Amino acid sequence: MSEATTLAIPEATGTAARPLDRRDARTLLLSALGGALEFYDFVVFVFFAIPLSHLFFPPDTTPWLAQLQVFGIFAVGYLARPLGGIVMAHYGDKLGRKRMFTLSVFLMAVPTLAIGLLPVYAQIGMLAPLLLLLLRVVQGIAVGGEVPGAWVFVAEHVPPKRIGLACASLTSGLTAGILIGSLAAAAINSRMTPAEVLEHGWRLPFLAGGVFGFVAVWLRRWLSETPVFEAMHARKELASGLPLRLVFERHLPGVLLSMLVTWMLTAAIVVLILMTPTLAQSVFHVAPARAFLGNSVASFALALGCLFYGWLADRIGHAHALLAGAIGLFACGYALYIDLQAGAAHFVALYALAGFAVGVVGVVPALMVAAFPPPVRFSGLSFSYNIAYALFGGLTPLLIGWLLKPFGVLAPAHYVAFTAMIGIAVAAWLLAARRRVLAPA
């Protein structure tokens, strides 16, 4: 498979060389802001895994088992993503991108608000974790349509030469949602005692997230349908039948590529950004306030890293940017966890460096957008991304918990390094295939 022959360049209006105009900038800003609010709703759960493990399970449950059960409920959100992604992508390819883009954020706001109002185990017994599980499923369905839909939406609004930066800016907005969640967790843990967090503090970020989610619904009223979809609709070029069936019949190489790079993305985000604050506390005995301070700095660095790698992809090509970023991810993951093992003397600084390295995920959406033609783009990207994220992202928390026993405290770094090697292999494969295509006969 070659980048030149199998990765279709998305269509756009105007010339490829035109810069981003004011309308493009507004679309990117509103999309990124709404994505940040929605992704905050999805990930804030993991930042409060410890208090949730105490509140939603029987009091005689051992701490490690209760925490494992909470991570399991967190993982269910990932396992539910393919359902939302496949259904919303189908209608996104048939009826338009904007409608599904608005529906996804609404479906996220409702369960997030409900989690903040949910009774705990001491009040309603086993019904509490079951309701928490159900609401997490709805969150997963929502984000399954949101993330791939957002990438398709912004990619089809900008010139082809700006798709890397456009997708990366949206990814940066999504990661800003992680930063907001981390800041909220840091503020609550620094200003409240552990008893106050258990009593009512844990509810505050969910209640705020639900309210902000409805704000995001309102903001998306100002967005317009993508020019690519409008042109396909006017020319009657929309996919006939099931778009996903066409993906299976004609675009399996694009599915494979998308799933492989998503595997690297899931390890980078789930392990280094989402799980590390909890692991830093439970495994390496870092104080909660310092753990979340480091995570806040890393999340901010991640947002900047996404923009950098998206810009780099537009300048030197997706494959070269992926290669450079995967190598950086490999090295920085080890640096962070070796320091944690040695006492965490440089935890915040190395966490910031690792966060910037995770910014290589900003290259991934541009690769996936280019892997599918417009009539089946939403379905192809959404299926590949969500299935891979459900498989790899959903099982990662449980896998890391299991790997800690046989492989020790560096197990998270080993796993990230393994997936970074997959990213390096994909980049090398694309570069070699491109050289074969461009070589004279």
In a domain, 14, yes or no: no
Question: What are the residues whose beta carbons fall under 8 Å from the beta carbon of 65, sequence distance 6 or more?
Answer: none
Judged against a pLDDT cut of 50, whether residue 189 lies above it is answered with yes
Q: 134-150 pLDDT, tens per residue?
A: 998 888 888 888 788 88
Give the least confident one: 5-19, 29-43, 110-124, 235-249. Answer: 5-19
Encode pLDDT of 318-334 as tens digits: 999 999 999 999 999 99
CA 431 to chain centroid: 26
Is the Cα dihedral 383, 381, 373, 434 positive or negative? negative
pLDDT band with cut points at 50, 70 and 90 for residue 217: confident
The string of pLDDT tens digits covering residues 349-387 is 999 999 999 999 999 999 999 888 888 888 889 899 989
Residue 127 inside a domain? The answer is yes
Residue 52 lies in a domain: yes
Closest by CA to 185, choosing from 40, 33, 69, is: 40
In a domain, 207, yes or no: yes
Q: What percent of the chain has pLDDT above 70?
A: 92
Nearest alpha carbon to residue 291 among 205, 186, 187: 186
- 10: which residues sit within 8 A by CB, 6+ positions away? 155, 156, 160, 163, 228, 369, 370, 374, 377
Question: Which of 249, 213, 197 is closest to 379 using CA atoms?
Answer: 249
Position 280 in a domain = yes
> Which residue is listed with tokens 């506390």?
281
Residue 16 in any domain: the answer is: no
Residues 6 or more apart whose Cβ sits within 8 Å of residue 381: 89, 148, 151, 152, 258, 368, 369, 371, 372
Look up the domain containing 48 and give its range.
3-8+22-438
Q: Is 15 within the bounds of a domain?
A: no
CATH number at residue 429: 1.20.1250.20
| Residues 362/227, Cβ–Cβ less than 8 Å | no
Burial 130-159 (b: 16+ CB within 10 A, else e): ebbeebbbbbbbbbbbbbbbbbbbbbbbbb
Q: Could you tell me how many helices (H) and strands (E) the chain has, helices first?
A: 22, 0
Q: What does the pLDDT look like over 386-437, one tens digit per residue?
A: 899 888 877 887 788 788 888 888 999 999 999 999 999 999 988 987 777 6
Question: Is residue 187 domain-resident?
Answer: yes
pLDDT given for residue 151 in this prediction: 87
Report which DSSP code applies to 343: T
Q: Give the integer Cα–Cα distance in Å for 41 and 51.
A: 17
Number of domains in the chain: 1
State the SS3 of 10-78: CCCCCCCCCCCCHHHHHHHHHHHHHHHHHHHHHHHHHHCHHHHHHHCCCCCCCHHHHHHHHHHHHHHHH
